[in-house]
Amino acid sequence: MSKTKQDIEGKQADFELSANSYGKSQVRISKIIRDGARHEIKEMAVSVKLRGDFKDTYSTGSNAKVVATDSIKNTVYAIAAEHPLGEIESFALTLAKHFLSYEQVEAAEIDITQDFWKRISHNGREHEHSFVKGGDEKRLTRVVHDRKGTTIESGITDLYVLKTTASEFFGFVRDKYTTLQDVNDRIFATAIEARWFFDEVKEEQPRDYNNIFDSNKKTLLEVFASHHSLSVQQTLYVMGEELLKLDDTIAEVKITMPNRHRIPFNVEPFGLKNQNEIFVTTDEPYGLIEGVVRRKV
């Protein structure tokens, strides 16, 4: 029940900060890596979140323990200048460890998404310094590092795929709110987001994150292409299993697949025969299917 402002003055001491974080988002970096005439371009957006002993700035505005978000931004560029950027996971981990060099920081969470550039083909060869955007998909990682340990997840997002057949959906609940008919041949279009969560990091056991990414992306595409789907959920689960089979340091895989519906357009009012050919491409509303697949313990 609401109270008037007068009823409740002087109660400030009754409240407390229960959680806090701050940082800098969307720090966008381009780095050229030169190997003689052959260049690579790395482009990514970095977000940093810090948690720790920052209550003073909330309660009194004293910023003595606050690393300014402008300094966080500077740090990201400065460390990127020295880091080879071979793998976003390694860069994120280096950043996270750096931020724990401030004793007031209890945990650092680093998110990186990387765009793809592929070499332009020129005279039948890959060009040494010219690139075309690789597609909508992005590689991502999230590293969370605190005084107790480190968790690393990696993944891919915005991987747009579509198949024109081998997708069915039938036998679902049929009640007063059901108008959808069973369908044995539908378009299946989605934007895959898959995140794989690694077992706890042990320093002595480095991983080849690039290779894992490439394998997982390839596997996601192959499962999507070849799986005869009875539901989005079923295809999602097979994807999760296949990723877990590929690398036994992955503990868990989370996959999200919006169902970007292509809705049959009824051409019969115009004297045409419906041949399951013409669809309305829609963005919303969309089905949203999520699942986490893990190893049994």
Site for a second copy in 65-94 (CB under 8 A): 65-71, 73-75, 77-78, 80-82
Q: Which three-class secondary structure state does DSSP give residue 283?
A: coil
Q: How far apart are CA 79 and CA 95, in angstroms?
A: 7
Of the candidates 53, 120, 149, 200, which one interacts with a second copy according to CB under 8 A? 120
Q: How far apart are CA 56 and CA 62, in angstroms?
A: 6
Of 138, 227, 254, 261, the catalytic one is 261
Tracing tokens 């590929």 back to the chain, one arrives at: 246
Binders in 132-161 for a second copy, by CB under 8 A:
132-137, 159-161
User: Shortest distance, CB of residue 30 to a second copy, whole angstroms?
Assistant: 4
Binders in 238-257 for a second copy, by CB under 8 A:
240-241, 244-249, 252, 254
Work out whether 201 is an interface residue with a second copy (CB under 8 A). Answer: no
**CB-CB neighbours of 240 under 10 Å:** 23
User: Shortest distance, CB of residue 149 to a second copy, whole angstroms?
Assistant: 20
Q: How many CA atoms within 13 Å lie on the side-chain side of 253? A: 28
Our answer to whether residue 163 is catalytic in this structure is: no
Work out whether 286 is an interface residue with a second copy (CB under 8 A). Answer: yes
φ and ψ at residue 208, rounded to 5 degrees: -95, 85
- Cβ pair 39, 50 in contact under 8 A: no
Our answer to whether residue 69 is catalytic in this structure is: yes
- Cβ pair 289, 236 in contact under 8 A: yes
Q: How far apart are CA 142 and CA 47, in angstroms?
A: 9
Q: Which three-class secondary structure state does DSSP give residue 1?
A: coil
Of 31, 39, 69, 73, the catalytic one is 69
Of the listed pieces 89-97, 139-147, 149-157, 282-290, which binds a second copy according to CB under 8 A?
Answer: 282-290
Work out whether 184 is an interface residue with a second copy (CB under 8 A). Answer: no
Work out whether 214 is an interface residue with a second copy (CB under 8 A). Answer: no
* Count of positions on this chain that bind a second copy (CB under 8 A): 155
Our answer to whether residue 127 is catalytic in this structure is: no
Buried b / exposed e over 254-271, threshold 16 CB at 10 Å, is bbbbbbbbbeeeeeeeee
Of the listed pieces 42-50, 87-95, 139-147, 149-157, which binds a second copy according to CB under 8 A?
Answer: 42-50
- Cβ pair 72, 110 in contact under 8 A: no
User: Shortest distance, CB of residue 136 to a second copy, whole angstroms?
Assistant: 6
Catalytic residue annotation: 24, 69, 261
